[in-house]
Structure 1
């Protein structure tokens, strides 16, 4: 995994992090970029065209959303800077721009777990909370992802919870119920594969390539077995029986073929395409897949044949890793007033509803999960709301890039065949590594 390193050498890392935290707490960010740091009580200044840096739009709806803004604001148009599909590459590019204090990007579309890192390094601007009055109408867990040390640095625009997509037609044909646990899912696949229609189908896949998605899938395996990656005390806790049970389930999945060999290369999109092409019985992915897999334009072979359920755990209900994206203002941007208004526009109830209708991406407005028309179109919204409410966040740490890299390398080494280490040694070594990276 190729992460840009934003920290100095280990010998002075603690001192640097401490300085950053003190500076952030004292003034909320730097005064580079000409518009001034705006803190919790300052004004966001400067109007004019801005550039919005975001990952590749796989939904196909971002242009419609931005066009709606540009039509209403001809003198403050937004240009989309579409970054790569990989979350890791998006993060790297944003960090590279921030490290040279580039004014190119105005608004950043951040993975929810990047907020602490970007805020602590003063790459994004602290936002005046009184200028974003709708925050109280959003799901509380999503708002929490936009804060660092109780100060607002971003606004949640989409959320995400992991879902289990499954071939309802094949489960019905085999006479099996939707599995609620990992063993039930294994047993269900065996029954489906005994059918002529299911003989060639692969059982299950998530995201197991060595990138951010693997951190998510590893975390869900650990949480679904009753463990935690980082405890409430902020300390790593992966060298436990629960974490071992979760990782072992994934390792055995690859060894037995329950998870196909090809899945070690899957990010979100390759897995989605495998499911849509009819090659997977069960697939863990995000809500955005629903609209794409249900298209009737010939791009999906399973439209009308699948359904969605909560993630299974090892012996009970699973636990999703909290996903989603927050919009933040680059500390080095000009035209920050326009940037703030664009964020308010994109995070509004109207725009989020329009986006859900077109993409099935999870909104952050609580009211949209109870909207009758949306629930008719997307019947998974009610359980998704509960999933997001109980979801666990990835580690909120300043050195997130180093932490997620360590998790990815450890998990990937255990999952690939032949494995580099057995699950027990993998977790023992990971505990040591995380303990050196996560300091209080």
Structure 2
């Protein structure tokens, strides 16, 4: 249930359309059938959009929950293939738009009036949610989405391979690079960071003691520490110790499970599949600190449920969201723990989740609590794309880090001006 589940996933399209939904106006809707079955106009037929999760049983689970709801007929568009996001945002521009959909907190969805204010249904239980999740969905005191799952990402490693190579768990980026060199053989690469390197863009920033934006919504990633990290990553990229062009990307555990690499960046969602393949020969650690002033970092991905503010059934959609993602704790627990491991955003559920209380899952929760960073609702996908392009410019292509960061600053500042003036 990661943010990246489809083998055809294209990171670059995540929110191109959302930067101005009108720009996508010429795109076709996502198929001719919106699942309404004709619809009665009574407000009792609802359509929800989900991307195709990779864990078996997820589609059946979502449809089972919907079937149990008695106050509306809820149908699910389970969107497979490439580019869930562009299909979602194309559909939002048409009369085939879903009434509710899963996505990530993004301020431009709020500024464009695309998502409904859900404060009234969340407020009574707000204290039982992880407060960082509440903060990441809040603008001007109003809450615009209900978090369904928290998905921490970190490094997974084969204990036996590290022991054989006499390698300690890396505590710094320098040690990670040294470990990758010692672990690389003619059959196994030392390290896998994903085919595009994109998933480590923000962890690198945080581990260098920086941030995406500061509390004034100004650039906070352009620092000496981040620049130092980029130079080190370029060294790693050219070392021959990095797995490049793997059959599946970082979100899939195959690279580690099949012995292509000794260490892999991935998400907690894949932990059960890794444990099934590797047993106890599995450990985890956060992105190690880049500089002396840095700190290890863990990115918390995940998904949230939003109501389409332009739907004709806003109140009915809100009632369904409240029923499923606030009232039905049994289903929320099932969604978090039965199809991969995720941390329930509800504090009461997280505290009672037995599957997360011991062993490696408990270690994952500890890393999440100690080093976790959440989405900044003001740091939009266009800004993230600009920062990820820095990795392409100076890690893949050996450009000058300072020039690459300056280029990103220009793009990010243009977006910030649009959003915050």
- TM value normalised by structure 2: 0.80
Range with bigger deviation, 373-382 or 328-337: 373-382
Q: Does 1:106 align with 2:112?
A: no
Aligned length: 383
Match of 2:203 in 1: 220
Whole-angstrom CA distance in 1 between matches of 2:406 and 2:345:
37
Distance 1:413 1:123, change over 3 A: same
Q: Does 1:59 align with 2:52?
A: no
- Structure 2: state its 5+ residue gaps: 1-11, 23-40
- Residue among 283, 289, 292 paired with 1:307: 283
- Residue among 10, 20, 45 paired with 1:7: 20
Match of 1:346 in 2: 325
Q: Contact 1:310 / 1:317 at 8 angstroms: preserved in 2?
A: no
Q: Deviations over 1:222-254 (max 9, x none)?
A: 211112232222111333211101222322221
Task: Report the alpha carbon displacement of residue 426 of structure 1 after superposing the two structures with TM.
Answer: 0.9
Task: Report the alpha carbon displacement of residue 199 of structure 1 after superposing the two structures with TM.
Answer: 4.9
Query: What does 1:194-233 correspond to in 2, within 5 Å?
Result: 199-209=186-196, 214=198, 216-233=199-216
Match of 1:35 in 2: none
Query: What does 1:288-327 correspond to in 2, within 5 Å?
Result: 288-295=269-276, 300=277, 302-315=278-291, 317-327=295-305
Distance 1:131 1:143, change over 3 A: closer
- Residue among 379, 382, 400 paired with 1:422: 400
Distance 1:161 1:46, change over 3 A: farther
Distance 1:188 1:405, change over 3 A: closer
Distance 1:192 1:131, change over 3 A: closer
Query: What does 1:40-439 correspond to in 2, within 5 Å?
Result: 47-73=43-69, 76-84=72-80, 89-100=83-94, 102-112=95-105, 114=106, 116-130=107-121, 133-193=124-184, 199-209=186-196, 214=198, 216-262=199-245, 267-269=249-251, 272-295=253-276, 300=277, 302-315=278-291, 317-344=295-322, 345-347=324-326, 348-358=328-338, 359-371=340-352, 373-376=354-357, 379-381=360-362, 383-384=364-365, 386-388=367-369, 390-397=371-378, 400-416=380-396, 419=397, 421-439=399-417
Distance 1:429 1:187, change over 3 A: same
Whole-angstrom CA distance in 2 between matches of 1:361 and 1:349:
15
Distance 1:306 1:420, change over 3 A: same
Q: Contact 2:114 / 2:310 at 8 angstroms: preserved in 1?
A: yes
Task: Report the alpha carbon displacement of residue 280 of structure 1 after superposing the two structures with TM.
Answer: 1.3
Task: Report the alpha carbon displacement of residue 140 of structure 1 after superposing the two structures with TM.
Answer: 0.6
Whole-angstrom CA distance in 2 between matches of 1:63 and 1:121:
30
Q: Contact 1:320 / 1:392 at 8 angstroms: preserved in 2?
A: yes
Whole-angstrom CA distance in 2 between matches of 1:94 and 1:242:
37
Distance 1:366 1:385, change over 3 A: farther
Task: Report the alpha carbon displacement of residue 121 of structure 1 after superposing the two structures with TM.
Answer: 0.9
Whole-angstrom CA distance in 2 between matches of 1:318 and 1:385:
13
SS at 1:78 equivalent: strand
Whole-angstrom CA distance in 1 between matches of 2:203 and 2:309:
33
Q: Contact 1:274 / 1:280 at 8 angstroms: preserved in 2?
A: yes
Distance 1:48 1:387, change over 3 A: same
Task: Report the alpha carbon displacement of residue 177 of structure 1 after superposing the two structures with TM.
Answer: 3.1
Q: Contact 2:49 / 2:101 at 8 angstroms: preserved in 1?
A: yes
Q: Contact 1:360 / 1:378 at 8 angstroms: preserved in 2?
A: no
SS at 1:294 equivalent: helix
Whole-angstrom CA distance in 2 between matches of 1:160 and 1:75:
31
Whole-angstrom CA distance in 1 between matches of 2:235 and 2:161:
24
Task: Report the alpha carbon displacement of residue 372 of structure 1 after superposing the two structures with TM.
Answer: 6.4
Distance 1:353 1:328, change over 3 A: same
Whole-angstrom CA distance in 1 between matches of 2:67 and 2:92:
30
- Structure 1: state its 5+ residue gaps: 10-44
Whole-angstrom CA distance in 1 between matches of 2:315 and 2:390:
43
Query: What does 1:18-57 correspond to in 2, within 5 Å?
Result: 47-57=43-53
Task: Report the alpha carbon displacement of residue 328 of structure 1 after superposing the two structures with TM.
Answer: 0.6
CA RMSD of aligned residues (A): 3.0
Task: Report the alpha carbon displacement of residue 132 of structure 1 after superposing the two structures with TM.
Answer: 5.3
